Amino acid sequence: MFDIKSFYEAKSVADAVDALVKDPDAEIISGGTDVLIRVREGKDAGRSVVSIHNLQELKGVKLLENGDLWIGAGTSFSHITNDPLIQKYIPMLGEAVDQVGGPQIRNTGTIGGNICNGATSADSASTMWTLEAVAVLEGPEGERRVPVSGFYTGPGRTVRERTEVCKYFLIPRESYEGWAGHYIKYGKRKAMEIATLGCAVRVKLSEDKTRVEDVRLGYGVAGPTPLRCRKAEEGLKGCAVADQEAVAAFAKAALDEVNPRSSWRASKEFRLQLIEELAKRAFYEAVRKAGGEVNA
């Protein structure tokens, strides 16, 4: 049994916000794969929950008139992976969330919950950073937009207020059109594992596919929050995709922008080794997916 004081199923986002305002002890719940675990462990026991799980307005993927991709916060990982628009425009995100937990978790857990949980190990997080996604929240004061890169404030903490509902995410057209990417999750086993480290690389190549026009490098579990290595990115722009020295320098430069810690999953030193190695592997795979050729 879960120690929950009350359960309310919201009829709309506005209704959910109203319920959260009226009950200062209430917490939002969608898929529940994180919230219910905290309740079971006693961390959030005895609280009220406001469910947005069945709100259709929070589900699905759409291509907007301006070319931006709209991803409902209540969309499950399985639906994201299998959505035709995701597969066509940003398959990297579908591949990343397909590494979350097992099938039951992926069928229930949502992209909004994964981001709003604030965990640096979230498999969607580093990819969403490299996609320059924007989170759209609604609260008592109305709607506001927050770049995912500014969403995290610390381990398990975000800028989302308790009375706010994450409605959807926007992926700008310029962040996926002409780009390709790859996400690597490192864990002690291939399934049902929280990431020891996550690495996401996106590239935009020149027309002849021989040079790097732009690149983005994101990590999870390389610091207290997900992060981007922007200085490392700048160093690789304009370089030939086959320039192994430039790629090695790109991967090594990332070490100056991360702050991993030792934990029971891995030591800081091992994570630093992963940070450097996975950057190269993810880059070369992203180049291959973008149509380039490398000898690495």
What amino acid is encoded at 88 in this protein?
K
Q: Hey, where are the domains in the chain?
A: 4-51, 59-174, 179-289
4-51 against 59-174: fold identical: no
Q: Which CATH class is domain 179-289?
A: alpha beta
Does residue 91 have a pLDDT over 80?
yes
Cα 76 from Cα 87, distance rounded (Å): 15
Q: Which CATH number fits domain 59-174: 3.30.465.10, 3.30.70.890, 3.90.1640.30, 3.40.50.300?
A: 3.30.465.10
Which of 144, 123, 134, 136 lies closest to 226, judged by CA? 123
Task: Count CB neighbours of 46 within 10 A.
Answer: 10
Cα 31 from Cα 109, distance rounded (Å): 5
Q: Is 164 helix (H, G, I), strand (E, B) or coil?
A: coil
pTM of the predicted protein model: 0.93
Q: Which CATH class is domain 4-51?
A: alpha beta
252-270 per-position pLDDT tens digit: 999 999 999 999 889 999 9
274-290 per-position pLDDT tens digit: 999 999 999 999 999 99
Distance of CA 119 to the CA centre of its chain: 10
| Percent of all residues in the chain with a pLDDT value above 90, rounded to a whole number | 78
